[in-house]
Amino acid sequence: MNQRFKRVVNFYGEEGFQKIREANILVAGLGGVGSHCASALARSGIGSLVLVDFDSITESSLNRNAVVGHEWLNKSKAEALATTLTSLCPDTECIPVQLFITEETIKTSEYLKNSKLIVDAIDSVNPKTQLLQYCAQNKIKVFSSMGAAGKRDSTLIKTGDISETTNCPLARMVRRFLKRRGVATGISCVWSTEGAVKPLPPDTTEPRLECRGRVRNTLPSLITMPGIFGYTLAQLVLDSIVEN
């Protein structure tokens, strides 16, 4: 047994750890939440990670990223995280996919079509809801992060079904979108009932890709809550793998 995973084996047992080693996970959205989740999964010995994001590393995002450094500025988030995690966790296969998720790209991406377990850490409403709808309608197990930005109180973090989410504007929008499409339950979520600090006007100095759609306000955010959300998602994923 690789000694770096000795404590994981102690926790889950040989059989449980073998399930972790054989697991293939797709993480969509590689910002604060997604990078921490992917890092925790790789550190825990997950066999293969497909890392999906269309965006590039910006200087203002470095305060929330789990492992990526300054040398990756203006380069692909997916490539940056895959390369860094491969160096840190060579036992995990990390596959970068630079992709903007839409109804069309979901249908054409072999990685998405072949995934059996997906982590949703996307912060844009349309790609997020379209991915969740796809997972629900195709019975793909998915673990989804709601809004972590602008919050600081870790004692108010909750986990549960999408139908149980409260006091989270992002979760409210996601529920409304999914309900119109016949999806009301079956999506495991991490959310917080804490009220977020007020958003700021859009940052005109930030790079913006046209596929993002509308210009969005700036959401103040620390590393702490996105990190806790990401690690909570990773724990839900690991438990799900071992228990099934």
Looking at residue 237, what is its pLDDT?
A: 98
Residue range 224-240: mean pLDDT, rounded:
98
Looking at residue 214, what is its pLDDT?
A: 57
CB 174 within 8 A of CB 131: no
> What is the band of 68 on the pLDDT scale with cuts at 50, 70, 90?
very high
- What is the pLDDT of the chain when averaged over all its residues? 93
Looking at residue 2, what is its pLDDT?
A: 77
Looking at residue 203, what is its pLDDT?
A: 74
Residue range 128-153: mean pLDDT, rounded:
96
Per-residue pLDDT of 94-108, as tens digits, reads: 999 999 999 999 989
- 218 or 24: which carries more pLDDT confidence? 24
> What is the band of 220 on the pLDDT scale with cuts at 50, 70, 90?
confident
Q: Domain coordinates of the chain in residue numbers?
A: 3-243
| CATH class held by domain 3-243 | alpha beta
CB 222 within 8 A of CB 152: yes
Q: Token digits for 177? A: 């979108």
> What is the band of 113 on the pLDDT scale with cuts at 50, 70, 90?
confident
Q: Using CA atoms, how far apart are residues 182 and 159, in angstroms rounded to an integer?
A: 22
Looking at residue 208, what is its pLDDT?
A: 56
CB 240 within 8 A of CB 78: no
Looking at residue 199, what is its pLDDT?
A: 81
Per-residue pLDDT of 180-217, as tens digits, reads: 999 999 999 999 999 999 888 887 766 655 555 556 77
Provide the strand spans (E) within the chain: 24-28, 48-52, 93-97, 117-120, 141-145, 157-161, 188-192
pTM: 0.94
| Residue 67 in this model has a pLDDT that exceeds 90 | yes
Looking at residue 244, what is its pLDDT?
A: 87
- 204 or 218: which carries more pLDDT confidence? 218
Percentage of the chain beyond pLDDT 90 is 86
Percentage of the chain beyond pLDDT 70 is 94
For residues 138, 119, 17, 227, the Cα torsion angle rounded to the nearest 10 degrees is: -160
